[in-house]
Chains A and B, each alone.
Chain A
């Protein structure tokens, strides 16, 4: 229970608000961030599943990519079909190393005029360096450093956005409630411009909202004034995404892991599967054709004791791999984990063992998500 020294860390635009709300600040991705508020991780997790939770994810990197040939160039660093990405649509993608290893996972949105990218906080400087080193003349990559990013997640997110009076900016933009999952557009809250997408990292319906840092406090306070909304920290963000079966970069995804073994083959678009031409295409297309040697699996543990990242997976005397994320799942009511095992042990129902502090815990390979997703398709 050592205290964390958070001095020298960068602060979020909403730092003061988090502290006023009683957020316990910890270092994460170089920022002082709230890991939980006074109600605690369990209550915050369950609140998000039944009402609406407000997350400050302003540590994440927000970038724009503009210029003639931007889609073609994106296809040289990531395996998505960006030529066919229609304005207002967003796609989950992967920044790939030359050997096909995953450098980061990201969201790519087409606005029609430019692409808007959201990358992980801990990797954003590396991502920017990677992209700048490869950027051809005529394309402009801009880091939106003075923008905040908030996520409003949960079944009541839609009614909260409507009560706040968030409106589309333009007649061709759908209303907040008519937005489909994985779409985005420009919206207005009063005269504040918001970039809103219907997306998230919790397995729930909800929105991610980009806005100028200077407007973030007023908007966050307006959301929190709604009785359906509570602030949610990093602790519940992690347990929510784990239950939703969503991998976390730096833990479940690393440069040593290629997309197919990570269960992210869907991020390689159909046309790209046929044409290749993305980093590591040979290795990734081979894994798609032959099946990967190992796979990321979901694990449900017997009993109540959780297994954490780094715990080793066994079948009898044979070491299979390690847990890459693990914890107690509040909505499942049991400990769950993710990890990598040889393909022969990846079938649903396979019984494995996880070693925790010298003791073997029984676990079973289960399908993910662990908790049913509630997206609005």
Chain B
């Protein structure tokens, strides 16, 4: 099941492991990504708080954790090829995987149709 946040992240849920990345809309807004700072495995992240930083040529932008949990793995491929965030934002350009600490938080997120409708209002 894939969820979306109004902060333009996607959240893929498989059991209690979720994968988080930013949406195609978000990468388009950010522009050419040249560096991604990701949380280390074991880091506790809290929904709505900064979890990663995306650097484009021009600026740094914070990425907020859409759900709370413990980081299992950051996407090591982004170290050498941060442009995966532009070329495959909703696939190989994923940011991190985490163990959900509060599955109830998923209920506050959008589904694909809901996110699409949200983006159209922007």
Contacts and interface: CB of A to CB of B under 8 A. Distances in A.
A239 B31 CA distance: 14
A40 B60 contact: no
Contacts of B122: 3
A267 to B, nearest CB: 28
B16 to A, nearest CB: 29
A111 B56 CA distance: 42
A304 B58 contact: no
A167 to B, nearest CB: 37
B37 interface: yes
A321 interface: no
Interface string A30-54: 0000011000111101000000000
A42 B32 contact: yes
A308 B60 contact: yes
B60 A42 contact: no
A305 B57 contact: no
Given A1-B8, A305-B37, A357 B53 contact: yes
B11 interface: no
Contacts of A250: none
A43 B56 CA distance: 13
A306 interface: yes
B29 A1 contact: yes
A308 B56 CA distance: 11
Interface in A320-355: 327-328, 330, 335
A36 B31 contact: yes
B82 interface: yes
Interface residues of A, number: 22
Contacts of B34: 304, 306, 328, 335
Given A1-B29, A306-B34, A239 B8 contact: no
B73 interface: no
B61 interface: yes
A305 B35 contact: yes
Nearest to B29: A1
A35 B58 CA distance: 10
Interface residues of B, number: 21
Interface string A293-313: 000000000001110100000
Question: Secondary structure of the A side of the interface?
Answer: mixed
A362 to B, nearest CB: 15
B13 interface: no
A48 to B, nearest CB: 13
A238 interface: yes
A113 B65 CA distance: 63
A1 B62 CA distance: 8
A306 B60 CA distance: 9
B60 to A, nearest CB: 6
Interface in B37-70: 37, 53, 55-61
A328 B35 contact: yes
Contact of A235 (B53, B58, B60, B82): B58
Contacts of A41: 31-32, 56-58
Nearest to A328: B34
B26 interface: yes
B77 to A, nearest CB: 13
Interface string A274-298: 0000000000000000000000000
A239 B29 CA distance: 18
Given A40-B31, A42-B57, A308-B60, 18 more contacts: A1-B26, A43-B32, A238-B58, A239-B57, A239-B58, A304-B35, A304-B79, A304-B82, A305-B35, A306-B34, A306-B60, A308-B59, A327-B58, A328-B34, A328-B35, A328-B55, A330-B57, A335-B35
Q: Which 6 A-B pairs have the closest CB atoms?
A: A42-B32, A328-B34, A41-B57, A235-B58, A305-B35, A328-B57
